[in-house]
Amino acid sequence: MKITLLGTGTSQGVPVIGCDCSVCQSTDPLDQRLRSAALITDGATQVLIDAGPDFRQQMLRHQVKQLDAILLTHEHSDHVIGLDDIRPFNYRSGKAMSVYALPRVTAEVRRRFEYVFTENIPGLPRIALECIDHNSRLQFGDIPIQCIEVMHGRLPILGFRIGQLAYLTDMKSISPSELIKLKGVQYLIVAALHHTEHPTHMNLEESLHFIAQIAPKRAWLMHISHNMGLAATINPTLPDHVQLAYDGLEIVW
């Protein structure tokens, strides 16, 4: 099983438009972040987590020619607004793309992409919405996926456990009942926005505390703002088994 992190940045991405900070001006690839998304594969089946504004660029960068399903964590634009660009996958497969999300999120997708569901025009994307909830268990080929509810501030969103690995973006907190689903996770990908308190995202201190609570073998921080600092500066300060994730990172288990 392999996950590729297609993007590890926040809703603005890094560099931020018009910003002259050291991170946004950095030429280090580890400091350049597209909007957060990930691709999971078992070698035959490929499942995408989130389709944000960089979806097209991410698919081209990683030469993705096949997508079997898309999972949406929540409805914010940096996670869904790229869905119009699924059209080449529709053409190649000859069928609608299965998109799995919470009922609230599927309703928002229908609203934002109303033309997809109401117009009968050749060339439009074809989307088959599938409602799931925080207790859903999904299977795509040999890829088992357990949904997990985390709180994005006051908004319930989905994280995912894929066997020994868990992927939790935009997280601020998690209930004890959902925390149980993370028991035994060996590889953890979790959001860490920057250093200061934020109402809807964990900061670095909170993420490190959460990682210590889960005690995985390895952990990577994602959904990172330019305010986190340079990767070359931050990584040496982190525990040995934790590092900042970066675009293109591949984790195999």
Q: Does residue 122 register a pLDDT over 90? A: no
Q: Does residue 178 register a pLDDT over 90? A: yes
Sort residue 106 into left (φ over 0), alpha (ψ -120 to 50) or beta. Answer: alpha
CATH number of the domain enclosing 13: 3.60.15.10
Question: Residue 121's pLDDT is what?
Answer: 87
Average pLDDT over the chain reads: 97
| Structure-block tokens of residue 107 | 């309703």
Condensed to tens digits (0 to 9), the pLDDT of residues 89-121 reads: 999 999 999 999 999 999 999 999 999 999 888
Condensed to tens digits (0 to 9), the pLDDT of residues 203-249 reads: 999 999 999 999 999 999 999 999 999 999 999 999 999 999 999 99
Structural domain total, the chain: 1
Mean pLDDT value across residues 195-202: 97
Question: Residue 214's pLDDT is what?
Answer: 98
Q: What is the pTM of this model?
A: 0.97
Question: Residue 236's pLDDT is what?
Answer: 98
Range of the domain at 7: 2-252
